[in-house]
Copies of this chain bind each other. A is one copy, B any other.
């Protein structure tokens, strides 16, 4: 490129990085270089750039599973938003496994990503805090870790679960159960708190009824849990996540439980499955685009400015009322 234009590589670099003014490059020279670059469709070699300056205009994103509809959509929004800002993203799936997160993360850092967006797995506090000591900026998504000095973007999970539960109460359901994961992650804890608080506030403290199961084999264990809760007289269920909702719906079809006559249902996140289930399922919609854009913005800010201020963003969900929670 430099030889084609007949100038030094330094000049090319200055101009193409918008530092022309700073280095007082003559207007005409800058124009000329820009033209040559455009003409030959010049693309600077990112590997060389990375090696010298540490910047690759590349970020890494680790979610539990990119094929899960919720994360698939988030990841898609991130792709679009990052690309608008000149960045490209790697996406990896942790399967809720801290070990795997670790290995994906080091493989990404190794490949020179400028920053990371991470959906932390259970017991990953140590991993995250060791990452914080490095110089790769990081933003947590979906699940803040309270005691760590790290930026995060997440739903107001407490409020979301509260509203969902209260909606069921208002529609005449009293014996309302919730199904969640038995994990310490903040998003789940907050949702459980929201459910409990809503029950309590409505004088239903004695009817609080939580079913738990493990992430692995969710399809199988969810059946058992629902079966038990249904048998114990539950009138409505709040499914604590997207995955739980899907697994639960499969079971409800299999078991032939009539919704909402025998059992009211509210889930999380939405998607085609919620619309096609018969009757359509009420759910808490997360503002996926906002979550994606905010996390990318905060990360890129941390990368481009040396501004180290921590930002924690909480966004509000929206209850999309469908037929599965009709008044009884």
Interface set of A (CB-CB < 8 Å, partner B): 43-48, 50-51, 56, 58, 65-67, 69, 72-73, 75-76, 79-80, 83, 88-93, 104, 106-112, 246, 249-250, 253, 271-273, 275-278
Contacts and interface: CB of A to CB of B under 8 A. Distances in A.
A66 B58 contact: no
B66 A110 contact: no
Given A45-B51, A272-B272, 8 more contacts: A47-B51, A66-B66, A66-B72, A66-B76, A79-B92, A83-B92, A88-B107, A276-B277
State how many copies of this chain the complex holds. Answer: 2
A118 to B, nearest CB: 16
B278 A278 contact: yes
A89 B90 contact: yes
Contact of A47 (B43, B56, B80, B277): B56
A93 B112 CA distance: 22
B58 A111 contact: yes
A79 B51 contact: no
Contacts of A51: 45, 47-48, 51
Nearest to A95: B80
